[in-house]
Amino acid sequence: MRAVPNSLHDDVADRLRSRIFEGALHAGAFIDEAALCTEWAISRTPLREALKVLAAEGLVRHEPRRGSFVSEVTEQDLDEIFPVIAMLEGRCAFEATRKATAADIAALDTLHDSLQAHAAARRIPDYYAANYSIHEAIITLADNRWLAQVIADLRKILKLARLQQLHAPGRLEQSLSEHLAVFAAIRAGDADAADAAMRNHLMRQRDALRELARHGKSRLLA
């Protein structure tokens, strides 16, 4: 069976997401449809279809007679999202623990070795990348497409906020300790403990972001 190529509006949606996540279109920014159509040599139809897709994902909001704007993530949004994603990723850790093979545990061990090395050297961008790989690996091991889909949608909103919780004092060390607790539970085959440890890890992230906001420090990446 031949693969069906992405439609034009899917390609346009990907371009818009990239601009938003890279910060070229910042939170609250007006999306100039005419300028984008000219730049990308496209008509309004695929762009407007792409905007509908991003609006459904929560990345864009449309205001009648004004146009489309990049969504802004508030502290209340974060308060509401983190408990949900903590519950979902906790369930992923639970299911991953029940399904992980010896080879899977060995692969996770390698990823955690990398995480520890980056933490020791205080290479925060590399730590973020290793952290992401570990979360993705656990989601993959859970092998539940519904969990994966909802988590991916929520992550887009969190990515829109461009969070930097590892810059909170002591957070890097706490994050590493939390990751190791999740992995220890998975390796021990204790699904309930893995679930609880992952939920704790996500909620501690929210605590760190709240602490940064309380002290007037930016949550945005430089």
Give the mean pLDDT of 136-145.
97
- Per residue in 45-103, pLDDT tens? 999 999 999 998 888 999 998 999 998 888 899 999 999 999 999 999 999 999 999 99
- Per residue in 25-43, pLDDT tens? 888 899 999 999 999 999 9
- Per residue in 191-220, pLDDT tens? 999 999 999 999 999 998 888 877 765 444
Kindly report the CA angle at 160 between 183 and 15, in degrees rounded to 5? 110
CB distance 59 to 160 below 8 Å? yes
Name the burial class of residue 51, with classes exposed (0-12), middle (13-18) and buried (19+) by CB atoms within 10 angstroms of its CB.
buried
Q: What are the residues facing 62 on neighbouring strands? A: 68
